[in-house]
Homo-oligomer: A and B are copies of this chain.
Amino acid sequence: MGEFELLAHIRERLPAPGERVRLGSGDDAAIVVPDGATVTSVDALVDGVHFRREVASATQIGHKALATALSDLAAMGGEPGEAYVVLGLPADFGEDECLQLLDGMTALARATETTLAGGDLSRSSELFLAVTVVGHAPGAEDLVARDGASPGDALVLTGEIGGAAAGLLLLTNPDLAIDWRVRHEMEGQTRQWGEKTGEALRTRQLEPTARLAAGRALARAGATAMIDVSDGLGGDARHLARSSGVSLRIDADAVPLAPGSGEVMETAGRDRWQLLGGGEDYELLACIPPSRYEQARAAVQEAEGLALTRIGAVEAGSGVEIRLPGGRLLEAEGFDQLA
């Protein structure tokens, strides 16, 4: 099967285009008629850097590539519109795997009402993907950038973090999964708890969720600045603080960690607070006036069944300060990503 045949095969599997799309995949370019502002982001995923073919299925790789791109739209409060996909295909990545990868992507596209409106394929020496996503909003003022936080705002986080980093440790260290199960059984947990919890952590790593509804709810509720936690809570807080020209104070004890993630870290001989530097959870970190917090919390719960937790505050100054239980301070500079 050549490139053109593969493209024809791919096109057959695409869900119907959204209403704004006047000409979809198959021409020189797609034609879209937006009805307000657009919000556009592009993400690269490379084998061995952003995923590992040894531990992720082709379907999971396709899902993750689109999910991480959509997460940037979530972080702006945009409504997903179109996606454009580049695939670099090595000789040992067969057509079946290619179509499975696309199935993972189209399933998520359907669920999020995203149109796969174009793409390009190339031979390459390693598997890579580049996904461009375009979202929509009535106007530019309905979208939330990183630069609007003010001293006095509350710092809030959707869901739980640490799961993706703990899941990666379990996936890449098979012995660790056994050690961890022994450990939690000694602590009186059931074997079933360990298996379910481990599976949930691996899924956080392999099949992330873009918090699209939560992002729109936060934007409507009055978030002043927002970012998705892709590089790690400490690192992404630093990006937001720098863009807004403020200082962020985070109470580590208030940060919700994914169940089991702290135990996995400790079993691996690491400090559980390193999870604050572990990326790829794709939760949303936002700043919001304290008077809006309750409304935002209810809206995020309603939109996505997700907790919204106050984890700190915006202050005048610069940088990020993380206060650990017992009063020890960590500079966010000290966090490296887990890899």
The interface of chain A, by Cβ under 8 A from chain B, is 22-23, 26-34, 36-46, 48-50, 72-73, 75-76, 78, 82, 84-88, 117-126, 128, 130, 132-135, 139-140, 143, 145-147, 226-228, 243
Contact = CB atoms under 8 A, between A and B. Distances in A.
Contact of A78 (B29, B33, B75): B29
Contacts of A42: 84-86, 118-120, 130, 132
Contacts of A33: 36-38, 139-140
B41 A38 contact: no
A124 B123 contact: no
Contacts of A75: 28-29
19 contacts: A26-B243, A28-B75, A29-B40, A30-B41, A31-B38, A32-B37, A33-B140, A34-B38, A40-B134, A41-B84, A41-B118, A42-B86, A42-B130, A43-B120, A44-B87, A44-B122, A46-B122, A49-B123, A134-B134
A156 to B, nearest CB: 16
Given A49-B122, A122-B49, A124-B49, A88 B31 contact: no
Contacts of A119: 42
Interface SS of A by simple majority: strand
Given A86-B130, A88-B88, A130-B130, 8 more contacts: A27-B145, A28-B145, A29-B40, A29-B73, A40-B118, A42-B84, A44-B87, A46-B123
A67 B171 CA distance: 42
A337 B29 CA distance: 22
* Shortest 6 CB-CB contacts between residues of A and residues of B: A130-B130, A29-B41, A28-B75, A86-B130, A132-B132, A28-B72
A45 B76 CA distance: 29
Contacts of A85: 42
A85 B44 CA distance: 10
A74 B34 CA distance: 20
Contacts of A78: 29
Contacts of A32: 37-40
- The residue among A32, A48, A75, A132 with the most chain B CB atoms within 10 A of its own CB is A132
Contacts of A126: 124-126
Contacts of A34: 34, 38
